Amino acid sequence: MADTLDSAATFSPLRWRGDTLELLDQTLLPTREEWLTCNTVEEVAEAIRRLSVRGAPAIGVAAAYGLVVGLTPVPAEGELADRFAEVAELLLSTRPTAVNLRWAIERGRELFARHREAGAAAARAALLDWAKVVHAEDIETNRRMGEHGAALFEGEQRVLTHCNAGALATAGIGTAIGVISASFARGGVAMVWVDETRPLLQGARLTSWELQRLEIPFKLVTDSSVGALMSRGLVDGVVVGSDRIAANGDIANKIGTYTVAVLAQRHDVPFYVAAPLSTIDRETATGADIPIEERDGEEVTDVFGTRVAPAGTEAFNLAFDVTPAELIAGIVTEEGVLRPPYSESIRQAFARAQP
Amino acid sequence: MADTLDSAATFSPLRWRGDTLELLDQTLLPTREEWLTCNTVEEVAEAIRRLSVRGAPAIGVAAAYGLVVGLTPVPAEGELADRFAEVAELLLSTRPTAVNLRWAIERGRELFARHREAGAAAARAALLDWAKVVHAEDIETNRRMGEHGAALFEGEQRVLTHCNAGALATAGIGTAIGVISASFARGGVAMVWVDETRPLLQGARLTSWELQRLEIPFKLVTDSSVGALMSRGLVDGVVVGSDRIAANGDIANKIGTYTVAVLAQRHDVPFYVAAPLSTIDRETATGADIPIEERDGEEVTDVFGTRVAPAGTEAFNLAFDVTPAELIAGIVTEEGVLRPPYSESIRQAFARAQP
């Protein structure tokens, strides 16, 4: 109990208890609320791979704790370096697109390099302290993003979000949903359009679940209804999360995000992205350089165990797509709302964050 | 057996046997191939309402036979007119968007008016002969649309279709899929992108099933993947069906069609519609005048009996959307491929059809 952090959200999808990482198994929501206990790094990796924990910031925090789990029990001194390298590599291999994962592992590697000489137990202890900082930082980062983004919507607007970029995707109040809930509290948002987000239905399953808990009115639609909603003038704004932002402001996010952005442009609806600076990868020049994960076609041909396509049907299942910077009205970060041209505003935000 | 028509397709979703209309229950495909026997007009109406038979042209043919089923057994002479009016009204009330339904009922009403003086049995017999003509005409209309549309695609193109506008949606080889299969036979189409078409998954369930039977290569994607496919240059053309076409060339079709058309425009991918002249409603001036059916939210919150959204979630479930004429490169009809400006080309096509 002592080892849990208060997320300031009404719930948090991950917690450190004793020497284990506990994850709310998001594949079972909203039907069942069950916690996974990860005693080994293999269990952490598998939980990330199968989306029991998902959302770029939450994956980053889970990976930080995963490094600690991988050094539990503490390895023999002679095996420490190899073991750590193996653990870091395993976690890094789980999912290619979300850069927060790589960001956490790289920071963990630097920290380990500084502490390994002190011995295995000390290195592990330093990593645990650091993972808790990463966890606490994410909560604080979410809070600040909500503050900055709350002013984007004025006067009871109807805001659409895609996938789930809420508390379930982070350690705190969420990125896109953090902005929405902060704005809702001020009367800027009246209701939320939730698109279901096939194939894994994070909108229908997770965002609906969160908005119910937050008591924010919402309506669920299929992904392909967004065009009709906009052409009927029913959407005033869009805010989504991101899994990686390139140096020029192009973003990767859940498949379907690009389509929403194209529709928003056609209908003069402002399209915002909410993501912490840890999601911005300045080493990735443009969206074309972001690796896009392709997942198993069965996620499309089977819906929760019901086969929907004929046997032998092949599906092409991209997990993410890229939305070019030109379609994005603003990127909400903990350092404020970045505006085009993003190459410049991103550079300035990092300068403010690391003076 | 004698009462079935050869559709020239590899299968047909409806057939007249003895005094009953038999419908392939499309809600069960692709898992089960079961035929519904409609002995009463209430059964025909219910089959249309629950989408056991669907697709604008197939609904038109089913409604024509439905008028006959409604006069079986032959009513007493004194009840004939009231009974016919009641039957026509019931069928007309099933679904509001597809104009082929209204077109069939109106033609049936005219025919009935001409034959009712001859007595109930004769009027019913005339309606049955006429329904078979409607059925046969749809087969022939499909064939001619395929001929005209086959030349749209040249050189092994990758063509995307939305929903199901195939043999299952008509009495013949289909509208959009008729064009695709005719073009495939000439080498103009190499493969088909099938989007799944939530909420009822007509793409995943029905179009996949048809393309397998036609031995045309295809890949299934979620609806929200279309933007990513186009931005990667993987789509050379789009062809869809329609439920109603306004006099100015705006079209109503399955929800999500508009989104595909907007993406196609952005990526310079030609977007075609394939529909018989019976789908063109010259009394509807523009797309804004087309009534759009709203269906039960449970089609979104529940996927084949599995609840996916939390209890209490409200869904907004439009069955169709409107694609403006400006996004349409051509409309394939049995009278040729109509080109913009559609007000003019539609007028000319009707003039050719009814000289």
Chain A positions touching B321 (Cβ under 8 A) are: 225, 227-228, 231
Contacts of B313 in chain A (CB under 8 A): 204, 208, 212, 218, 220
User: Can you tell me the distance from the alpha carbon of B173 to that of B181, in angstroms, rounded to the nearest whole number?
Assistant: 8
Burial class (CB in 10 A: 0-12, 13-18, 19+), B27: middle
Provide the pLDDT for residue B188. Answer: 97
- The alpha carbon of A353 is separated from its chain's Cα centroid by a whole number of angstroms, namely 20
Active-site positions of A? Answer: 243
| CATH fold label, A147-353 | Rossmann fold (3.40.50)
Query: Is the Cβ pair B309, A256 closer than 8 Å?
Result: no
**Per residue in A26-39, pLDDT tens?**
999 999 999 999 99
Cβ-in-10-Å burial (0-12, 13-18, 19+) of B300 comes to buried
Which among A197, A229, A314 is the nearest to B220, CB-wise?
A: A314
| B95-154 pLDDT per residue, tens | 999 899 999 999 999 999 999 999 999 999 999 999 999 999 999 999 999 999 999 999
| Cβ distance of B209 and A31 shorter than 8 Å | no
pLDDT at B250: 98
Instruction: Report angle CA B127, B128, B129 to the nearest 5 degrees.
Output: 90
Tokens 């025919």 -> residue? B111
Q: Which helix (H) or strand (E) holds A69?
A: helix A56-70
> Nearest by CB to B312, which of A212, A223, A304?
A212
A223 contact residues in B (CB cutoff 8 A): 198, 222-224, 256
**What is residue B1's predicted lDDT score, i.e. its pLDDT?**
32
CA-only gyration radius of chain B, Å: 20
Average pLDDT, chain B: 95
pLDDT bucket at A5, cuts 50 / 70 / 90: low
- Helices and strands, number each (H, E), in chain B: 12, 16
A239: tokens are 């805010």
Lowest mean pLDDT, pick from A80-89, A188-197, B84-93, B297-306: B297-306
Among the four given CATH numbers 1.20.120.420, 3.50.30.10, 1.10.8.60, 1.10.10.10, the one describing domain A14-143: 1.20.120.420
What is the rounded CA–CA span in Å between residue B252 and residue B244?
A: 5
pLDDT for position A10: 63
Cβ-based neighbour number of residue A187 at 10 Å:
12
CA–CA distances in Å: residue A261 to residues A317, A325, A346, B98, B227: 20, 10, 20, 30, 10
* A30, A222, A292: residue with CB nearest B300: A222
Joined tokens for residue B230: 């186009």
What the block records as the tokens of A84 is: 């750590």
Q: In chain B, what residues touch A227 (CB-CB under 8 Å)?
A: 256, 258-259, 262, 321
Angstrom distance (rounded) from CA A70 to CA A64 = 10
pLDDT confidence of residue B354 = 80
- Nearest residue in B to A213, CA atom: B310
**Of the candidates B48, B83, B49, B50, the residue with the CA atom closest to the CA atom of residue B62:** B48
Torsion-angle region of B312 (φ positive above 0: left; ψ -120 to 50: alpha; else: beta): left
Q: How many CB atoms lie within 10 A of CB B267?
A: 16
d(CA A221, CA A66): 36
> Is B205 in Cβ contact with A255 (below 8 Å)?
no
Integer Cα distance of A218 and A159 in angstroms:
9
Residues B249 and B314 sit within 8 Å (Cβ to Cβ): no
Instruction: Read off the amino acid at residue B24.
Output: L
Segment A110-158, tens digit of pLDDT: 999 999 999 999 999 999 999 999 999 999 999 999 999 999 999 999 9
| Contact (CB<8Å) B317/A212 | no
Beta strands in chain A (DSSP E): 14-17, 20-24, 35-38, 157-161, 189-195, 218-221, 237-240, 244-246, 251-254, 271-274, 280-281, 302-303, 306-307, 320-323, 330-333, 336-338
Three-state DSSP class for A355? Answer: coil
Angstrom distance (rounded) from CA A239 to CA A195: 12
ipTM field: 0.94
Mean pLDDT confidence for B168-187: 96
A318 DSSP assignment: B
Across the interface, of B205, B225, B312, the residue whose CB is closest to A309 is B205
Write down the pLDDT at residue A1: 33
Look at A230-234, A254-258, B351-355 and tell me which has the smallest mean pLDDT: B351-355
Please judge whether A310 and B212 are an interchain contact, meaning their C-beta atoms are less than 8 angstroms apart.
yes
pLDDT for residue B305: 83
Q: Give the chain B residue whose CA is nearest to the CA of A303.
A: B303
Task: Determine the residue type at B159.
Answer: V
Give the per-residue pLDDT at B7: 47
Same fold, B14-143 and B147-353: no
Q: Does residue B297 surpass a pLDDT of 90?
A: yes
Instruction: State the Cα–Cα distance between residues A216 and A166, nearest whole angstrom.
Output: 13
Nearest to A222 among B198, B219, B306 (CB): B198
Annotated active-site residue in B25, B138, B243, B281 = B243
pLDDT for residue A58 is more than 50: yes
| Residue whose token pair is 């005719």 | B182
- Would you kindly state where each structural domain of chain A is located, as residue ranges? 14-143, 147-353
Q: Minimal Cα distance from B227: which residue of A? A: A259
Give the closest-approach CA distance of A223 to chain B in angstroms: 6
**A321·B227 Cβ contact <8 A:** yes
For residue B5, what pLDDT band results from cuts at 50, 70 and 90? low
Q: Which chain B residues are within 8 Å of A301, Cβ to Cβ? A: 204, 220
Going from the C-alpha of A292 to that of each of A55, A305, A318, B105, B277, the distances in angstroms are 15, 26, 7, 51, 44
**Residue pLDDT, tens place only, A61-76:** 999 999 999 999 999 9
Region B217-221: mean pLDDT is 98
* Token reading at A74: 């503490």
